[in-house]
Chains A and B, each alone.
Chain A
Amino acid sequence: MILSATERSYLYELLQQTPPIRPDGRSNKQFRPIQSHIGFLDNSNGSAKITLSDGSECIVSIKAEVVEKSTTNELVSVDVDVSGHRDDTSFILNLQSSLKTLYLKHISSESLNLTTKFAYKLFIDVLVISNYSYPLTLMTFTSYLALNNTYLPKITSSVDDKEIEEQPTFHDYEFNKLIGQFPIVFTVAIIGKNYIIDPNIEEMEVSDNGLIISWFNGKPISPIQNVKLNDGNLKSVKPQLILQSIDLVKEVANDVINSLNSAE
């Protein structure tokens, strides 16, 4: 994103005002409209697609596999693919590591448990077709929708199969929904002494620093880390700004969750 010097200083001044004036007129806690589709991939257990107003698009597909609990140490595996980035760059690996630690901690293993020996392993494949702003928020929103609409085949064979040799058998068409709470992540851009939620591409380019705050069943949770939203001018940030950004996220999070739950 190349901004000329005048555009840059104009935007910076704009966002410095109290309250910050954003190029698209949003308030600092207002999100851009998103368009979502759910369950449109029939051969995966759960899927969702979100397109943002600036053209960014993300598809998440969730597939489940029956695995032996003794030989698998992680019941959730996350794979991230952002078009335009090689998949061994630190940018992708960092996204992947944040998502993985998030989901490993917050997807309860009971919800995936099948029998004493077997359990479901979830493969979350996140594909970002085009991204103009920092993709982490978009990715977590889409996986939130996908996870909320994941249906796993119902088990018909007996649950305690310690002595039984064969694999568990499943019902032909009955599914039960994957229950549980799922985390989402908010990106906050910090410009001078202001902080704005859901920054678009210009706001990111001009921001001094960025903050990633994760949210899970009603309260902000770790990991919390700062992130550079642009390649150029990164600046230090006052501590109370971080605290205020967290409060901002607290205000906003619940209605974001409600709107996501209401999406069909």
Chain B
Amino acid sequence: MSEEFEFKPMSFPPAVVARISPELSLQRHLAIGIRPNLRKFEEFRNIEFNDGGLSRYGSDDQIKNTSVLGSSVLKSGNTTVITTITAGIIEEDLPAHEINDDAAAVNAVFAKDKTDDSNNDIPKSQLDEYESIYPVVEVERGRVGAPTDEEMILSQKLYETFLHSKILSKDSLKVKVGLRSIDSQGKVDIYYKDDDDDSEDFGLGPKRSWKFVLYAKVKVFSRSGPLFDLVWASVLSALQNTKLPRAHIDENAADIKIPVKMRGNHGTIREQYQIICDAISRDPLKLNNEAIGISSNFGIIDIDEESIQTLQNEDSMEIDSKSILLTDIEGEEEEISSKKTISIVSDRDSKNLKSLTIIGNVSNDQLRKSFELTKFRFKHFAK
């Protein structure tokens, strides 16, 4: 029994087509000159910032009892990124000759040749003077568990780009250690040697030095496309309102029990603690501001002709080149279809670039176009 089939074309509403075949849906959109998220081809999403008032030193001089030193809430499209900056203290191991004079004398006698030339023939790395923050990125996805690949990649790319952009110098993280003096009535007062008055260091200064380690906790809500630009902007805006507390040494080492959770059992470790941070006095974190710029991403979509032929109606504007440059990729269709991508991180007045990643066969003029767009975007970037 031969029953012949005839194929009737099925038609789906746009939302269903977007789920079934994102590429086709995007081609149809581009063919009639619009993007699924209704932005123009070269239009960036605007980004709104505020510090969210999560940090200890909130806007007014009210001190909040939290260990967060800087924060930022960023909203772009329907994606929200919340960044909180916290810190830790680490004792710097200073080279011997800086610690005390007799060590230098000892070195002079016994290891004459080694110490002197050992540290000046290795060229100082460009990055020796700079430090990076330690970001942990978490994308809210309704699953509890180990970080996903995207979260790890975002954290590492953030760490590396931040370090190589030379934004945070090592001495801006030095802990300003004050001296505690208790006068007769037992009134405690702490004297901080202000860096501007370089009065001679009255010899009492502690020989040991400490520096801060900065951590950034980045929480992303409702992800709708590549996240690096938003995470970069959020972390940098959080750092710009971060303040570092001053600290003083406490003679009777207060034993602090720090609860730590190792594989489910609740142990506590006892810490000998000498450094106590001041409750109120703090200094803003000094950043190399002209190195801080914005990050932009672009996707290049190749137009495949036959999906356009099927659209014979008049509003299919003829597409000049065979591929279209889209800015600020957002939405599933654009993310899946952009096989070729460009990601640019520029410095403040986008004269120099800090990071550039090109994936796929990108022509030089598409590259030139994206550089222009970053410069153009910078002028209108709402700080």
Check: B112 CB closer than 8 A to any chain A CB.
no
A71/B264 in contact, CB under 8 A: no
Considering only residues 270-288 of chain B, those with a C-beta below 8 Å from chain A are: 270
Number of interface residues of B (CB under 8 A): 4
Kindly state the separation between the CA atoms of A202 and B183 in the bound complex, as whole angstroms: 70
- CB contacts under 8 Å to A, within B115-148, are none
Least Cβ–Cβ distance between A70 and chain B, in angstroms: 8
Whether B255 pairs with A88 at a CB distance below 8 angstroms is: no
**Is A6's CB within 8 Å of the partner chain B?**
no
**Residues in A83-132 with C-beta less than 8 Å from chain B:** 87-88
Q: Does A73 contact B (CB under 8 A)?
A: yes
CB distance from A79 to the nearest CB of B (A): 10
Q: How far does the Cβ of B253 sit from chain A's closest Cβ, in whole Å? A: 11
Q: How far apart are the CA atoms of A71 and B253 in the complex, in Å?
A: 11
Q: Is the interface of A mostly helix, strand, loop or mixed?
A: loop
Q: Would you call B257 an interface residue if the criterion is a C-beta within 8 Å of the partner chain's C-beta atoms?
A: yes
Contact B257 A73 (CB under 8 A): yes
Are B264's CB and A88's CB within 8 A?
yes
CA distance in complex: A73, B270 (Å): 12
The CA of A71 and the CA of B252, in the complex, are separated in Å by 12
When C-beta atoms are compared, the residue in chain A nearest to B252 turns out to be A70
Residue ID in chain B nearest A96 by CB atoms: B266
In angstroms, how far is the closest chain A Cβ from the Cβ of B202?
A: 33
Interface range for A: under 10
In whole Å, how far is A264's beta carbon from the nearest beta carbon of chain B? Answer: 37
The residues of B that contact A73 with a CB separation of less than 8 Å are 257
Assembly CA distance A88 to B262 (angstroms): 12
> Whole-angstrom distance between the alpha carbons of A219 and B257 in the complex?
35
Q: Name the B residues within 8 Å of A71 (CB-CB).
A: 255, 270
* Cβ of B18 to closest chain A Cβ, rounded Å: 40
Q: Which positions 71-85 of chain A face chain B at CB distance < 8 Å? A: 71, 73
Docked Cα-Cα span, A73 to B259, in Å, equals: 13
Interface residues of A in 3-34 (CB under 8 A from B): none
In the bound complex, residues from chain A placing their C-beta under 8 Å from that of B257 are 73
In chain B, residues 239-281, which have Cβ atoms closer than 8 Å to a Cβ of chain A?
255, 257, 264, 270
Roughly how many angstroms separate A88 CA and B255 CA in the complex, as a whole number? 27
Residues of B close to A70: CB separation below 8 A: 255
Distance, CA A73 to CA B255, complexed state (A): 11
Which A-chain residue is minimally distant from B261 (CB atoms)? A88
> Shortest distance in angstroms between B346's beta carbon and chain A's nearest beta carbon?
47
Closest B residue by C-beta to A79: B266
- In whole angstroms, how far apart are the Cα atoms of A60 and B270 in the complex? 28
**Measured between alpha carbons, how far is A151 from B255 in the docked complex, in Å?**
30
Q: In residues 167-216 of chain B, which contact A (Cβ within 8 Å)?
A: none
Closest chain B residue to A86, Cβ basis: B264
B270: chain A residues within 8 A (beta carbon): 71
Complex Cα spacing A74 to B247, Å: 28
> What chain B residues lie within 8 Å of A87 (beta carbons)?
264
- Per the bound structure, the CA–CA distance linking A71 and B270 in Å amounts to 9
Assembly CA distance A224 to B255 (angstroms): 34
CA distance A163 to B270 in the complex (A): 25
Give Cα A253–Cα B270 distance, bound, in whole angstroms: 42
Quick one: closest A residue to B255, CB to CB? Answer: A71
Q: How far is the CA of A88 from the CA of B264 in the complex (A)?
A: 6
List, in ascending order, chain A residues with CB within 8 A of B264's CB: 87-88
Closest approach, in angstroms, between the C-beta of B176 and any C-beta of chain A?
29
For residue B264, which residue of chain A has the nearest CB? Answer: A88
Inter-chain CA distance A70–B252, complex, in Å, is 12
Q: How far is the CB of A262 from chain B (nearest CB, A)?
A: 38
Complex-state Cα separation, A70 to B255, whole angstroms:
9
- Per CB-CB distance, the 6 closest pairs between chain A and chain B, nearest first, are A88-B264, A71-B255, A73-B257, A71-B270, A70-B255, A87-B264
**6 contacting pairs across A/B (C-beta < 8 A):** A70-B255, A71-B255, A71-B270, A73-B257, A87-B264, A88-B264
